[in-house]
């Protein structure tokens, strides 16, 4: 019985790792394609219109997880996100019943909403949060990628393991896959949102010694470097000045 349980656990872990890698590769591939668009990263770039690569959900309730911290439990990140209303952007995640905007709309009367992206006000200059960049060549930490995550309204204003205080009525728990950075691949690295003014110790979360997939660990939501700016430009046609914390030397 123990041997069978161990084999089942190994197969399940392998499947989860494959799913994580597919999601990370898809986002990195889309990000790379967007970066190749003329002027996408430039200060004077022209607005990038919506394409088949992304879906913009207009005038919908959604969960914003960009600034979230998460509890790791059995290889899944459970992240405390903010409930918002308005326009947001996401990979389409098409299924038979439609894209993510259609799925999110179905959640109004069925006890769930989807995690999508808009720029958090707290990272705009003058706010109390900032973007922290984990360098691709040296970071081996774990982070949650919440785009397309399911969030259940039964968690609003409730207590949830891993969080000291009861959630507020405008907070919700979302389940998100975990990505573990691999410095041997180099690449873009990734960004998370942390406290501002800058706190050098927050960069501990770029290391697997602090941010890992162990049950009970705390990790943060992240995305490949440059994603917040690019998605903000695609959604809002411009990017305001953002708080940023440079990596320690």
Band the pLDDT of 97: cuts 50, 70, 90.
confident
What does the pLDDT read at residue 218? Answer: 98
Identify the band that residue 186 occupies on the pLDDT scale cut at 50, 70 and 90.
Answer: confident
Task: Return the pLDDT at 31.
Answer: 54
**Greater confidence, 9 or 99?**
99
| Higher per-residue pLDDT: 118 or 6 | 118
Residue scoring higher pLDDT (221 or 52) = 221
Least confident of 27-31, 65-69, 159-163, 192-196: 27-31
| Confidence tier at 237 by pLDDT (50, 70, 90) | very high
Average pLDDT for the chain: 86
Report how far apart the first and last C-alpha atoms of the chain are (Å, whole number).
51
ω into 249 cis (within 30 of 0):
no
DSSP state letter for 18? H
Nearest CA to 204 among 156, 153, 248, 149?
Answer: 248
Which pLDDT score is estimated for 2? 44
Task: Give φ, ψ of 47 to 5 degrees.
Answer: -55, 140
What's the pLDDT at 249?
75
The whole-number average pLDDT for the span 104-128 is: 98
Beta strands in 125-242 (DSSP E): 129-134, 142-144, 150-152, 171-176, 178-180, 190-195, 218-220, 222-224
Instruction: Give the rounded percent of residues in the chain with a pLDDT score beyond 90.
Output: 76
d(CA 225, CA 230): 10
Mean pLDDT of 65-90: 98
| 41 confidence band (pLDDT: 50, 70, 90) | very low
pLDDT at 27: 56
Does the CA dihedral 240-130-205-43 come out positive or negative?
positive
Region 216-222: mean pLDDT is 98
Give the relative orientation of helices 2-35 and 227-236 as an angle to the nearest 10 degrees. 60
Q: How many angstroms separate the CA atoms of 189 and 43, rounded?
A: 21
């Amino acid at each position: 019985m123990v041997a069978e349980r161990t084999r089942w656990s190994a197969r399940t872990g392998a499947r989860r790792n494959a799913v994580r890698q597919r999601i990370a590769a898809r986002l990195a591939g889309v990000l790379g394609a967007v970066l190749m668009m003329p002027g996408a990263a430039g200060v004077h770039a022209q607005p990038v219109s919506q394409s088949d690569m992304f879906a913009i959900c207009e005038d919908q309730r959604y969960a914003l997880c960009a600034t979230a911290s998460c509890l790791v439990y059995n290889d899944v990140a459970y992240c405390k996100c903010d409930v918002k209303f308005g326009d947001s952007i996401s990979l389409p995640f098409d299924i038979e019943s439609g894209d993510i905007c259609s799925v999110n709309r179905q959640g109004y009367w069925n006890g769930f909403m989807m995690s999508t992206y808009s720029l958090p006000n707290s990272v705009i200059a003058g706010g109390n949060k900032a973007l922290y960049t984990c360098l691709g060549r040296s970071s081996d930490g774990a982070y949650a990628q919440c785009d397309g995550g399911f969030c259940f309204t039964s968690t609003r204003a409730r207590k949830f393991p891993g969080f000291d205080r009861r959630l507020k009525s405008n907070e919700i728990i979302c389940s998100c896959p975990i990505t573990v950075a691999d410095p041997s691949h180099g690449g873009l690295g990734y960004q998370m949102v942390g406290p501002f003014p800058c706190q050098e110790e927050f960069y501990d979360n770029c290391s697997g010694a602090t941010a890992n997939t162990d049950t009970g660990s705390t990790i943060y939501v992240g995305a490949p470097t440059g994603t917040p700016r690019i998605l903000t430009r695609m959604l809002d046609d411009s990017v305001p000045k953002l708080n940023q914390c440079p990596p320690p030397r």
